[in-house]
Amino acid sequence: METKDVLEAVKGLEKNKNNNDVVFKILQSLDKDLKDVNEKLLRETKVGVVVNQFKKSSNPDIVKLVKKMILSWKDAVAREKKSKLSSNSSSTSNNNGTSGGEAVKKEKYVSKAPRNAKNDGVKTDIYGVKIRDMAIRALYDALAKESEHPPVAILDTVMSIETEMANLFNPESDEKGYRDKYRIIYSNIISKNNPDLKHRITNGEVSAKHLVTADPKDLAPEHLKKKIEEIEKQNLFNAQGATVERSVTDRFQCGKCKQRKVSYYQLQTRSADEPLTTFCTCENCGNRWKFS
């Protein structure tokens, strides 16, 4: 779709803004034909501004379509910005006799100041969506700290992670899900119990998709994984053992039928220095209770 066609569509939207049927048809046409969207086109035609106004439409189909279009255009602009950054990095590296691809993967980046987006000169206001730009900035700062990878490589990794998050939880319609997922990932990256994780991420050993979809314990270091497995096996053994070793006694009285034929077993349900929990079952009426 050429610029003049986009401008014509914008005029049509403004002229028929109170006619939902016409607006919906124009939006469908834009969504179908406006594939090569870029920042320059959006600025020149103001199509994003005009389309965004219909997010408050009384027609739910229009609202849904507008949200989809705006998110798609923001992603396209973000890819464009990232491509320009990569191109600039490649150009600089080629002037030094190194290929762009090799520069991103192998070039050692030395910074005189503590590494973060601001000190690295990286712009993180990519989408214009507060929560997405916040996530990109925070993840960049976490991965860049003490890293020797060049800014363009870290930003590329962060953008991939954020895209996977947005695919899983659309920040426009499920901000809570998106925010919760971001917090889990961020906490794993900065965890002192797993200091190697962020290096594995920036080195490409952990993919963005795996990081976003994996169970948090799957991201733990090997020694911690083994410890978790040992604890789970021991807990299972204790539970099974306690169930088998059920004894019948007359020491306990059922509070329901007052009989003293009670079977019981004991289990360590809290920390080791806490008393065992006793689980009781009345053999007469089936009443169950527990105490520590």
The domain locations on the chain are: 3-82, 130-234, 248-291
Residue 179 CA to residue 228 CA, distance in Å, equals 27
Residue 37 CA to residue 42 CA, distance in Å, equals 7
Q: Pick the closest to residue 162 from 192, 191, 127, 190 (CA basis).
A: 127
Residue 184 CA to residue 207 CA, distance in Å, equals 16
Residue 235 has what pLDDT?
63
Which residue matches tokens 């520069």? Answer: 103
CA atoms 88, 140, 193, 169: torsion sign: negative
pLDDT in tens, the chain (292 residues): 788 888 898 899 999 988 999 999 999 988 888 877 888 888 888 888 888 889 888 999 998 998 888 888 877 777 777 666 655 545 444 444 433 333 344 567 888 899 999 999 998 888 888 999 999 999 999 999 988 899 988 999 999 999 999 999 988 888 999 999 999 899 889 988 888 888 889 988 889 999 999 887 777 766 666 666 666 666 665 555 444 457 888 999 999 999 999 998 888 777 667 788 888 999 999 899 998 8
Residue 224 has what pLDDT?
61
Q: Pick the closest to residue 131 from 170, 76, 164 (CA basis).
A: 170
Which residue matches tokens 């601001």? Answer: 118
Q: Are strands 247-249 and 262-267 parallel, antiparallel or unpaired?
A: antiparallel
**CA angle in degrees (0–180, nearest 5) for 196-197-201:** 120
Residue 222 has what pLDDT?
65
Contacts of 169 (CB under 8 A, 6+ apart): 177, 178, 180, 181
Count Cβ atoms below 10 Å from residue 191 Cβ, excluding itself: 15
- 270, two tokens: 């809290």
Contact by Cβ (8 Å): 79, 42: no
Q: What is the pTM of this model?
A: 0.52
Fold for the domain defined by 248-291: N-terminal domain of TfIIb (2.20.25)
Residue 127 has what pLDDT?
84
